[in-house]
Structure 1
Amino acid sequence: MTFENLRVVVTGASREFGRSLAVGFAHLGAEVFVSARTVEAAERTRTGVLGAARDRIHAFGCDLSRPAEIREFARQVGEHSERVDLLVNNGARWLDGVELDDASDDQIVETIESTAGGTVLMVKHFLPLLRKSHRPDIVNMVAVRGGAGAARTSAHDAFYAAKNAQAGFADILSHRLRPSGVRVFSLYPPDFSTADPRSVEWAGLGAHPDDKLTGQALFDCIVYAVEQPRDCFIRSFHFEPH
């Protein structure tokens, strides 16, 4: 399988793993449509790419807590491409705080809206373009959901609430879209390295078993799942915490 001419949408692509996804897919030959909270932030991802891959990245502004901006993002991508082959729901609003009072009401609502509501609306408005692909896939970067590993992070309770909502949506979506050929799978990694794709760490060189999971490993999991025959439905990837 080749990624050339594959149309990929990546949210939250201005930094860290979202940027790594955009760069990785562009270097594999895909046409990548990236979004960030502002178009300027998304554009920085595009301009930071070297070589011909830069021309395969298209930058858009989209605040995932604002439904109108999600609708506009889908409309703009539809003007550039008649289909989308892969939607990666990577964007999420991080919120710090170990006590409920550590965040304001507005911050809590915005975190849940952008992470959970944003994922639902991204799927809703990009589904028409996905259905025009002969190989449509949806990837959800759920990451943390709470539980035993929650105590080791500084994420606010609202962030875990949003991630659990996102996971529940992914589960039912996988079941309901499967008959139509749209595959849905999710990644549940612990805290992982967000090294730049051009770094030695991204390449996986010199990794030690006790080191953090790398962005390269997560990217490889996504590529592996997408490359599988269409009758292979991988619901999720779960990783052991360090």
Structure 2
Amino acid sequence: MNLTDRRVVITGAGRDFGRALAHHFAGLGAELLLAARSLEAAERTRSEIRDRGHDRVHAFACDLADPASIREFAAAVGRRTDRVDVLVNNGARWLEGPDLLSVSDEDVADTIASGSTGTILVTKNLLPLLLASDHPDVVTMVSVCGVPGAQHPVAHEAYYAAKHGQRGFTEALSRRLRPQGVRVISLFPPDFDSSRDPLSPEWDATPRGAQDPLAAQSVIDCITFAIQQPRDCYINAFHFESLNPPPRPVS
């Protein structure tokens, strides 16, 4: 597998899954444009990748809850490159709580803004650069919480709202952009294991058997598979079976 011809934007690249995805794409040779809420977080991932000998990587600040920050980020990407081949909408705030009253109004607003509005505005502002690519793909990490009827044991209602907003947006965007050759790919994983450091020996030793929880590596493999398919192959969604689905309440 080789992605040396791809320029890839990843939001939420400063930690966890976004960081792991950045290291994976760097290993495949892609040019990376990494965003995180703070520039320092994006720069840490950039430094790690450069220390591994890959210098085609750039760091940006992007607060997904702030439209002005998103516009500044998109403008900075546009000054760096004339096209974006893959946009990975990975950044979003997680929020948990036992009931609607358990979090502040600010938590609710920030969760919906970063997850739903942020995804829309990043895609909107980078769309001209995507349309300049010969093989544009928009990949969005949604969640099982964006699937109608799905239940999560601790996710807050505002998180559900953000993820349902992402799902509605990507479904409409897929229909709108298909005639222009843009593939819109959404992933709806349950909670998955992203605890292992991609730079540690444990990363390659992650158990991935039939009885093991979904691993970050498997989600990354799905993304890599989808974006490398010929352009007639349009995989618009990945849905994952949950190993241990949360119990439904007894009515």
| Normalised-by-shorter TM-score class | over 0.9
* Aligned sequence identity (%): 53
| Paired position in structure 2 for 1:185 | 185
Deviations 1:81-118 (CA, angstroms, capped at 9, x unpaired): 11000000000011121211111111101110110000
Q: Deviation per CA, 1:189-223, whole angstroms, max 9, x where unpaired?
A: 11101122234553355433222111111111011
SS in 1 for 2:145: coil
2:206, 2:215 within 8 Å by CA — same for their partners in 1?
no
| Structure 2 residues without counterparts, runs of 5 or longer | 244-251
Which residue is equivalent to 1:129? 129
Secondary structure of the equivalent of 1:3? coil
Q: Map 1:79-90 to 2 at 5 A.
A: 79-90=79-90
CA distance in 2, matches of 1:107, 1:30: 35
Root-mean-square deviation (Å): 1.5
Are residues 75 and 161 of structure 1, via their aligned partners in 2, closer, same or farther at CA, if it must alter by over 3 Å?
same
Equivalent-residue separation in structure 2 for 1:212 and 1:48 (angstroms): 27
Checking the alignment, whether the CA contact within 8 Å between 2:8 and 2:84 is kept in structure 1 is yes
| Superposed displacement of residue 26, structure 1 | 1.0
Aligned equivalents of 2:21 and 2:105: distance in 1? 32
TM-score, with structure 2 as normaliser: 0.91
Report the count of equivalent residues.
240
- Structure 1 residue runs of 5 or longer lacking an equivalent are none
The residue correspondences of 1:185-204 to structure 2 (distance < 5 A) are 185-194=185-194, 195-203=196-204
Instruction: For residues 119-168 of structure 1, give each alpha carbon's deviation from its aligned partner in whole angstroms, at most 9, with x where no partner exists.
Output: 0001100000000000000000001326665242x221100110011011
Question: Given the two structures, how large is their TM-score scaled by the length of structure 1?
Answer: 0.94
Corresponding residue for residue 238 of structure 1: 239
One-letter amino acid matched to 2:225: Y
Return the letter of the residue paired with 1:157.
E
Residue 210 (str. 1) matches residue 189 (str. 2): no
Q: What are the within-5 Å matches in structure 2 for residues 90-129 of structure 1?
A: 90-129=90-129
Residue 156, structure 1, aligned to residue 164, structure 2: no
1:144 correspondence with 2:144: yes
Matches of 1:4 and 1:186 in 2, distance apart? 23
